[in-house]
């Protein structure tokens, strides 16, 4: 089985099938698993994108993401902070002010977000178009 990265390179014509080897496949698969482990779930990428415009307080983030619960938002922010995508700032005001901001490291996800956005748009258009066309199959009774 070939890895996703190897498959992409094959599709782009940058790699010939005979250049593929098991070690490269395992390394690419491991890197993809690592990325998916860190960015798993439906909220992490939208959360990073929300913070890209500047620091926000917890309730402002929750309002921006609409359907996220406080419990899930708190969990996601902690995980993103552990992985150095988000920084938590505490200000000694009365009451204490806490803001969250995207770190410079989170900017490395820019190409990933752009690629996902492009693919998502193409996928939605493909599925929408295929649902508009009459089915090519017969209904058997």
List pLDDT tens digits, range 81-118: 999 999 999 999 999 999 999 999 999 999 988 998 99
Q: What is the pLDDT of residue 54?
A: 96
Domain span at residue 74?
Answer: 41-131
9 assigned to some structural domain: yes
85 assigned to some structural domain: yes
Structural Rg of the chain based on CA atoms: 21
pLDDT tens digits, 33-70:
888 888 898 999 999 999 999 999 999 999 999 999 99
Q: Residue 118 is part of a domain; what is its CATH number?
A: 1.10.10.10
139 assigned to some structural domain: no
* Contacts with 73 (C-beta within 8 Å, 6 or more apart), sequence order: 43, 47, 58, 61, 62, 65
Q: What is the pLDDT of residue 12?
A: 58
140 assigned to some structural domain: no
Tell me, yes or no, whether 1 and 46 share the same domain: no
136 assigned to some structural domain: no
Tell me, yes or no, whether 113 and 46 share the same domain: yes
**Residue with structure tokens 């938590």?**
88
Tell me, yes or no, whether 58 and 125 share the same domain: yes
Number of compact structural domains in the chain: 2
Spatial separation of the C-alpha atoms in residues 121 and 123, rounded to whole Å? 5
Please tell me whether the overall predicted TM-score, pTM, comes out greater than 0.85 for this model.
no
57 assigned to some structural domain: yes
Tell me, yes or no, whether 59 and 30 share the same domain: no
Tell me, yes or no, whether 82 and 28 share the same domain: no
């Amino acid at each position: 089985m070939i890895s996703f990265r190897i498959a992409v390179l094959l599709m782009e014509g940058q790699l010939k099938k005979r250049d593929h080897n098991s070690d490269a496949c395992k390394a690419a698969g491991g890197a993809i698993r690592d990325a998916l482990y860190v960015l798993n779930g439906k909220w992490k990428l939208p959360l990073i994108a929300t913070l890209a415009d500047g620091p926000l307080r917890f309730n402002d983030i929750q309002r921006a993401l609409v359907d996220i619960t406080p419990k899930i938002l708190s969990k996601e922010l902690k995980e993103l902070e552990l992985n150095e995508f988000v920084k938590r700032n505490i200000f000694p005001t009365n009451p204490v002010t806490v803001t969250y901001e995207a770190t410079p490291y989170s900017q490395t996800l820019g190409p990933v977000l752009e690629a996902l956005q492009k693919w998502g748009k193409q996928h939605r258009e493909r599925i929408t178009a295929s649902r508009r066309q009459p089915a090519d199959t017969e209904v058997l009774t």
